[in-house]
């Protein structure tokens, strides 16, 4: 009965019935904070708290003067600031949840309608037969039907990293938390393989009961986040100090000095003066604290994550987008990343068939059985013309080959009873299976296959049509032929076997010995992906080094490296090393070698990890790709771990980004995205800090020199909104800029504000202040009073200076005109429109709340045109740079 179930699985009808009875295999998402809670959290912001105090105080003044405009204005501004902040956050949350759903879609191998195929994890139902392999995450709770050396990592449920799982009751561990034949959702297979029948899905699983699934964490702070928070604090402190200074100066001038001159301590007028001094201080603080800085990073990252998904990069840890831009070395896998991962057997050399027609394998069932049983891959033959491969691609290529020879691998696999198996691993580089052979009528046969040098070392004789002969005479010839294939970039695989006595009880590793019979070898081709050479050259010209880390042979790896353009005629053997040779080097020698290394072949995961660590010691920012369970440490150590979409769950869990299409091209794109992101944030910082410097100085000096606040609290709140939220939206949403790939990588430790930016900020900021103070002077009458009309003009001039300067920020640091690529910058145009409309509404209709009076059309046009000089100066400078560059 059980055997039957294992091979047939559920029918489509049964799947539907089970799903309607037991539900889908999804976990109810954790209850999210209510929108109200999110909204009220905004009031925890210290700036908002200060503003609330200001509202209360201004209310007192309002009651005294019976004049409520300013109070209402500040109140509206607070609502606006909290409301917009809240809106941004809520939409970012929504985005993260969407991304989480994508990462939730893991493919699971199930048997249905007598066929092995892949379905999404959420489609698994109670009663499904799931096929499990090393590295798989278990999709639901279930009972084992079959297990071969199966071990599970249950650490996220029970804390146990290695638990033996078996169907053999005699071996059951009675002390284990869960029965030895039970597998649990959320745990992973760390060794062996097997099949289970699903008993519980979704919330009914143990995992569903105890925990909610971990997804993308939105509150992990990136290094850049921390940098900007530091910067914001620093600027905030300067603003705070100036605010206190301004408060004291005004208090001395308007309260203490008059008191010395005879005014009583308390009068309504005195109170009014104190409150006004307080308002100025509040304004200064509000302007000074660039609270938008950290938010701009979050916003840019969230936007980037969404866009990167379109280029096949599923970002799991937010900071990875940004670190990708600082990457200096990429250590890449070969299969799938550089090549198409469409492995096909190109040549087969089975010596038993030498004198017969190669290709008619049916004559030698031993070979068919050897391939079919000594494998964990599957073919989904729903479409017999185009079978889909499932599992290890090398093994799948062999199954496809059998399929092309009209051999049904499943039949052979079912008929040869597996007694023990040593699954393939990159460390071992071979695989072995002990079976009760159907071909040899119940005799026990040990089949081995793997890297040819491994297999050859375990064989002493060679199978020929007429029998066996000594291997030693033929070895040199075989090795030469292998090298020929490897020089053509092909992967080679050797096969051997040995008949084992039925009474043998030792574990499989002990019985292999070195007296197996060599059956032959195959050469598997896997062409380089078409887009890879171009992507490689993009990375190289961007100053990003590329190292191939592969399990394949030196010859194969070198040929692939040559085809993609990283191996030149002039390269020597010092640019290539094998894993075992690398492991034999001392730390000091290895440290010296890694710098010039281009290829590490026959590499094992531990070599990869050491390579990453040594490169980091050289100060490199390393991105590493990985697909296997054993790659997890290297992925963890890397600055950015890139897991293959086709890789194991363990690898994905350890990674920062999943490459959905496995392709190197997507890595190159991610580097460009990362650099563009950094550039956009720099643009924002440049813009924001220029306003900060000019607004702080203006309010500070303006209040010290004049009588009236040059810019009121409510006006400042509007400016604050432009520079924090709007500008973050406008600049963070700029499309990626391919020209960033012409620069060398930045250092990861570089401060985001470069010297050039600092000069720019201070120069322009101070320039603005000088001009604006001159304007104030021009506007004031002989008593130092400025009319409301002129103050409205002044406010509008300030805003439009920033408006035009936003263009300059957009063009930074390129030599291109600010108008280039405008058509693709919709967010930017929208923000420009918002600023104009907002300013017109505020000035024309703001009245007492904003302390404005309507301006004449002529004045609007005059201000709009005159302030644009800022942009034209920038354009001329950029034009000159372009001309100089051309010359
Ligand atoms: P890549 O960088 O190409 O992804 P890899 O590190 O994944 O390479 P491995 O899969 O470790 O390389 O393969 C190393 C060698 O082991 C291959 O050249 C091949 O000879 C052998 N090999 C690969 N897959 C299997 C398998 N399933 N069974 C037996 N031997 C295998």
Mind listing the pLDDT tens digit for each residue in 602-619?
988 889 889 999 999 998
Tell me the Ramachandran region of residue 739: left when phi exceeds 0, alpha when psi lies from -120 to 50, beta otherwise: alpha
Which atom from ligand 1 is nearest to the alpha carbon of 552? 18
Q: Closest Cα to residue 366, out of 497, 468, 473, 455?
A: 497
Report, as an integer, the average pLDDT of 455-482: 88
Quick count: other Cβ atoms within 10 Å of Cβ 496? 30
User: Does residue 341 or residue 82 have the better pLDDT?
Assistant: 341
Res. 559: pLDDT tops 80: yes
Distance, CA 649 to ligand 1 centroid (Å)?
19
Which atom from ligand 1 is nearest to the alpha carbon of 452? 20
Determine which residue's CA is closest to atom 12 belonging to ligand 1.
551
Determine which residue's CA is closest to atom 5 belonging to ligand 1.
551
Per-residue confidence (pLDDT) for residue 360, from 0 to 100: 40
Which atom from ligand 1 is nearest to the alpha carbon of 339? 3
Taking a C-beta distance cutoff of 8 angstroms, is the pair 147, 194 a contact? yes
- Ligand 1 pocket mutation, candidates 493, 495, 560, 646, criterion most atoms within 8 A of CB: 493
Task: Kindly compute the dihedral angle of the four CA atoms of residues 329, 331, 334, 335, in this order, to the nearest 10 degrees.
Answer: -120
Give catalytic residue positions: 333
Determine which residue's CA is closest to atom 6 belonging to ligand 1.
551
Determine which residue's CA is closest to atom 19 belonging to ligand 1.
451
Distance, CA 240 to ligand 1 centroid (Å)?
62
Distance, CA 455 to ligand 1 centroid (Å)?
13
Distance, CA 552 to ligand 1 centroid (Å)?
6
Res. 215: pLDDT tops 70: no
Helices (H) and strands (E) in the chain, counts: 33, 25
Segment among 153-162, 544-553, 662-671 with least mean pLDDT? 153-162
User: Does residue 329 or residue 846 have the better pLDDT?
Assistant: 329
Distance, CA 393 to ligand 1 centroid (Å)?
9
Beta strands in 230-370 (DSSP E): 313-315, 329-332, 344-350
DSSP H or E stretch at residue 562: helix 554-564
**How confident is residue 216, by pLDDT bands cut at 50, 70 and 90?**
very low
Beta strands in 634-784 (DSSP E): 640-644, 657-659
Rounded distance between C-alpha atoms, residue 807 and residue 510, angstroms: 72
Segment among 59-73, 442-456, 676-690 with least mean pLDDT? 59-73
| DSSP conformation letters of 675-688 | HHHHHHHHHHHHHH
Rounded distance between C-alpha atoms, residue 315 and residue 301, angstroms: 10
**How confident is residue 96, by pLDDT bands cut at 50, 70 and 90?**
low
Per-residue confidence (pLDDT) for residue 442, from 0 to 100: 83
Quick count: other Cβ atoms within 10 Å of Cβ 612? 27
3-state secondary structure at position 809: helix
Name the phi and psi angles at 883, rounded to 5. -65, -45
Which atom from ligand 1 is nearest to the alpha carbon of 426? 11
Which atom from ligand 1 is nearest to the alpha carbon of 337? 4
Determine which residue's CA is closest to atom 31 belonging to ligand 1.
450
Distance, CA 450 to ligand 1 centroid (Å)?
8
Q: Which residue has the tokens 């009880």?
A: 505
Q: Is the peptide bond before 187 cis (omega within 30 degrees of 0)?
A: no
Determine which residue's CA is closest to atom 14 belonging to ligand 1.
551
Per-residue confidence (pLDDT) for residue 306, from 0 to 100: 75
Determine which residue's CA is closest to atom 13 belonging to ligand 1.
551
- Give buried/exposed letters for 328-364 (b at 16+ CB in 10 A, else e): bbbbbbbbbbbbbbebebbbbbbbbbeeeeeeebeeb
CB neighbours of 204 closer than 8 A, spacing ≥ 6?
A: 22, 23, 141
User: Does residue 700 or residue 104 have the better pLDDT?
Assistant: 700
Rounded distance between C-alpha atoms, residue 770 and residue 859, angstroms: 22
pLDDT tens digits, residue range 754-810?
899 999 999 999 999 999 989 988 998 888 788 999 999 999 999 999 999 999 999
Per-residue confidence (pLDDT) for residue 663, from 0 to 100: 84
Distance, CA 155 to ligand 1 centroid (Å)?
29
Per-residue confidence (pLDDT) for residue 141, from 0 to 100: 94
Which atom from ligand 1 is nearest to the alpha carbon of 375? 27
Which atom from ligand 1 is nearest to the alpha carbon of 550? 2
**How confident is residue 539, by pLDDT bands cut at 50, 70 and 90?**
very high
Determine which residue's CA is closest to atom 30 belonging to ligand 1.
450
Which atom from ligand 1 is nearest to the alpha carbon of 425? 11
Percent of the chain clearing pLDDT 90 (strictly above): 37
Report, as an integer, the average pLDDT of 653-657: 83
3-state secondary structure 433-502: EEEECCCCCCCEEEEEEECHHHHHHCEEEEEECCEEEECHHHHHHHHHHHHHHHHCCCEEEEEEEEEECC
Report, as an integer, the average pLDDT of 293-299: 68
- Ligand 1 pocket mutation, candidates 451, 453, 634, 643, criterion most atoms within 8 A of CB: 451
Res. 234: pLDDT tops 90: no
- Ligand 1 pocket mutation, candidates 424, 483, 494, 628, criterion most atoms within 8 A of CB: 424
3-state secondary structure 749-769: CCCCCCHHHHHHHHHHHHHHH
Segment among 165-169, 269-273, 461-465 with least mean pLDDT? 269-273
- Ligand 1 pocket mutation, candidates 334, 374, 429, criterion most atoms within 8 A of CB: 429
Res. 591: pLDDT tops 90: yes
Res. 876: pLDDT tops 90: yes
pLDDT tens digits, residue range 120-162?
998 999 999 999 988 888 999 999 998 888 888 887 677 777 8
Per-residue confidence (pLDDT) for residue 589, from 0 to 100: 93
Which atom from ligand 1 is nearest to the alpha carbon of 556? 18
Taking a C-beta distance cutoff of 8 angstroms, is the pair 236, 292 a contact? no
Per-residue confidence (pLDDT) for residue 841, from 0 to 100: 94
Distance, CA 163 to ligand 1 centroid (Å)?
27
**How confident is residue 220, by pLDDT bands cut at 50, 70 and 90?**
very low
Determine which residue's CA is closest to atom 18 belonging to ligand 1.
552
Rounded distance between C-alpha atoms, residue 88 and residue 483, angstroms: 59
- Ligand 1 pocket mutation, candidates 389, 401, 532, 551, criterion most atoms within 8 A of CB: 551
Res. 438: pLDDT tops 60: yes
The two structure tokens encoding residue 592: 């010296």
Determine which residue's CA is closest to atom 20 belonging to ligand 1.
451
Per-residue confidence (pLDDT) for residue 140, from 0 to 100: 93
Rounded distance between C-alpha atoms, residue 685 and residue 62, angstroms: 37
Distance, CA 576 to ligand 1 centroid (Å)?
18
β pairing state of 640-644 and 417-422:
unpaired
Name the phi and psi angles at 266, rounded to 5. -110, 125
Report, as an integer, the average pLDDT of 862-873: 95
Pocket, ligand 1, Cβ cutoff 6 A: 333-335, 392, 394-395, 424, 426, 429-431, 449-451, 491-493, 550-552
Res. 282: pLDDT tops 90: no
Quick count: other Cβ atoms within 10 Å of Cβ 824? 11
Determine which residue's CA is closest to atom 22 belonging to ligand 1.
450
Rounded distance between C-alpha atoms, residue 52 and residue 747, angstroms: 42
Rounded distance between C-alpha atoms, residue 856 and residue 878, angstroms: 34
Mean pLDDT (the chain) is 84
User: Does residue 717 or residue 472 have the better pLDDT?
Assistant: 472
Q: Which residue has the tokens 């199978």?
A: 463
CB neighbours of 131 closer than 8 A, spacing ≥ 6?
A: 109, 110, 111, 116, 193, 195, 378
Res. 523: pLDDT tops 90: yes
pTM over 0.95: no
Taking a C-beta distance cutoff of 8 angstroms, is the pair 493, 522 a contact? yes
Rounded distance between C-alpha atoms, residue 244 and residue 239, angstroms: 9
**How confident is residue 358, by pLDDT bands cut at 50, 70 and 90?**
very low
Distance, CA 377 to ligand 1 centroid (Å)?
14
Rounded distance between C-alpha atoms, residue 393 and residue 389, angstroms: 7
Distance, CA 426 to ligand 1 centroid (Å)?
6
Res. 1: pLDDT tops 80: no
CB neighbours of 380 closer than 8 A, spacing ≥ 6?
A: 115, 116, 117, 118, 387, 388, 389, 390
Per-residue confidence (pLDDT) for residue 292, from 0 to 100: 65
Res. 103: pLDDT tops 60: no
- Give buried/exposed letters for 809-820 (b at 16+ CB in 10 A, else e): bbbbebbeebee
């Amino acid at each position: 009965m059980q055997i039957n179930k294992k091979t047939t699985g559920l029918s489509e009808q049964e799947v539907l019935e089970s799903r309607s009875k037991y539900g889908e295999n999804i976990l109810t998402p954790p209850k999210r904070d209510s929108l109200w809670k999110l909204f009220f959290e905004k009031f925890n912001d210290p700036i908002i708290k200060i503003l609330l105090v200001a509202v209360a105080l201004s209310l007192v003044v309002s009651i005294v003067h019976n004049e409520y405009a300013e109070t209402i204005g500040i109140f509206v501004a607070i609502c606006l600031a909290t409301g917009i902040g809240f809106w941004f956050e809520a939409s970012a949350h929504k985005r993260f949840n969407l991304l989480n759903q994508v990462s939730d879609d893991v493919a699971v191998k199930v048997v249905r309608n007598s066929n092995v195929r892949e379905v999404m994890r959420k489609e698994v139902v109670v009663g499904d037969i799931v096929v499990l392999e090393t590295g798989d995450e278990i999709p639901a709770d279930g009972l084992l039907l079959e297990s071969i050396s199966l071990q599970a990592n249950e650490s996220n449920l029970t804390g146990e990293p290695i638990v033996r799982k078996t169907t053999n009751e005699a071996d059951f561990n009675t002390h284990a938390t869960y029965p030895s034949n039970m597998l649990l959702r959320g745990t992973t297979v760390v060794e062996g393989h097997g099949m289970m029948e699903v008993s519980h899905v979704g919330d009914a699983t143990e995992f569903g009961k105890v925990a909610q699934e971990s997804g993308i964490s939105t509150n992990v702070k990136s290094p850049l986040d921390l940098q900007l928070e530091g910067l914001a604090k620093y600027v905030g402190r300067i603003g705070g100090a100036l605010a206190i200074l301004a408060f004291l100066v005004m208090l001395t001038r308007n309260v203490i000095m008059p008191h010395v001159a005879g005014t009583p301590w308390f009068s309504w007028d005195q109170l009014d003066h104190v409150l006004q001094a307080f308002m100025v201080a509040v304004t200064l603080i509000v302007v000074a604290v660039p609270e938008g800085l950290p938010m701009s990073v979050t916003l840019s990252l969230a936007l980037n994550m969404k866009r990167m998904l379109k280029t096949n990069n599923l970002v799991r840890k937010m900071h990875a987008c940004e670190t990708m831009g600082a990457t200096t070395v990429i250590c890449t896998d070969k299969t799938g990343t550089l090549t198409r991962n469409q492995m096909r057997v190109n040549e087969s050399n089975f010596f038993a068939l030498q004198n017969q027609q190669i290709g008619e394998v049916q004559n030698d069932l031993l070979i068919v059985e050897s391939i079919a049983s000594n494998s964990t891959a599957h073919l989904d033959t729903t479409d017999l013309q185009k079978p889909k491969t499932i599992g290890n691609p090398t093994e799948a290529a062999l199954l496809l080959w059998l399929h092309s020879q009209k051999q049904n691998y499943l039949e052979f696999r079912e008929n040869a009873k597996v007694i023990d198996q040593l699954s393939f691993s990159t460390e071992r580089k071979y695989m072995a299976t002990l079976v009760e052979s159907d071909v040899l009528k119940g005799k026990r046969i040990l089949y081995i296959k793997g890297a040819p040098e491994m297999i050859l070392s375990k064989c002493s004789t060679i199978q020929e049509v007429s029998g066996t002969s000594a291997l030693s005479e033929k070895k040199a010839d075989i090795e030469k032929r292998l090298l020929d294939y490897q020089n053509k970039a092909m992967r080679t695989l050797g096969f051997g076997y040995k008949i084992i006595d039925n009474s043998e009880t030792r574990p499989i590793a002990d019985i292999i010995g070195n007296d197996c019979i060599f059956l032959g070898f195959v050469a598997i081709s896997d062409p380089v992906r078409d887009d890879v050479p171009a992507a490689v050259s993009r990375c190289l010209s961007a100053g990003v080094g590329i190292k191939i880390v592969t399990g394949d042979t030196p010859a194969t790896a070198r040929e692939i490296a040559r085809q993609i353009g990283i191996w030149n005629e002039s390269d020597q053997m010092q640019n290539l090393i094998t894993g075992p040779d690398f492991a034999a080097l001392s730390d000091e020698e290895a440290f010296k070698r890694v710098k010039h290394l281009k290829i590490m072949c026959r590499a094992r995961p531990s070599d990869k990890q050491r390579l990453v660590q040594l490169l980091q010691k050289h100060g490199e920012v390393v991105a590493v790709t990985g697909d296997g369970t054993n790659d997890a440490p290297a992925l963890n150590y890397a600055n950015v771990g890139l897991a293959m979409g086709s890789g194991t769950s363990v690898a994905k869990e350890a990674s920062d980004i999943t490459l959905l299409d496995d392709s190197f091209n997507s890595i190159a794109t991610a580097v460009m995205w990362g650099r563009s992101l950094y550039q956009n944030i720099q643009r924002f910082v440049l813009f924001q800090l220029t306003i900060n410097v000019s607004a702080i100085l203006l309010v500070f000096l303006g209040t010290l020199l004049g009588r009236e606040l040059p810019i009121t609290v409510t006006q400042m709140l509007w400016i604050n909104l432009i520079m924090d939220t709007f500008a973050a939206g406008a600049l963070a949403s700029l499309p990626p800029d391919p020209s960033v790939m012409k620069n060398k990588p930045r250092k990861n430790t570089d401060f985001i504000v470069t010297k050039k930016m600092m000069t720019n900020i201070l120069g322009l900021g101070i320039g603005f202040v000088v001009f604006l103070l001159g304007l104030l002077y021009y506007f004031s009458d002989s008593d130092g009073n400025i009319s409301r009309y002129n103050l409205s003009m002044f406010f509008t001039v300030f805003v439009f200076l920033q408006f035009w300067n936003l263009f300059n920020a957009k063009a930074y640091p390129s030599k291109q005109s600010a108008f280039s690529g405008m058509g693709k910058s919709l967010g930017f145009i929208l923000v420009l429109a918002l600023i104009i409309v907002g300013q017109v509404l505020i000035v024309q209709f703001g009245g007492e709340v904003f302390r404005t009076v309507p301006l004449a059309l002529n004045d609007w046009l005059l201000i709009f045109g005159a302030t644009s000089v800022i942009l034209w100066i920038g354009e001329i400078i950029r034009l000159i740079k372009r001309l100089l560059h051309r010359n």
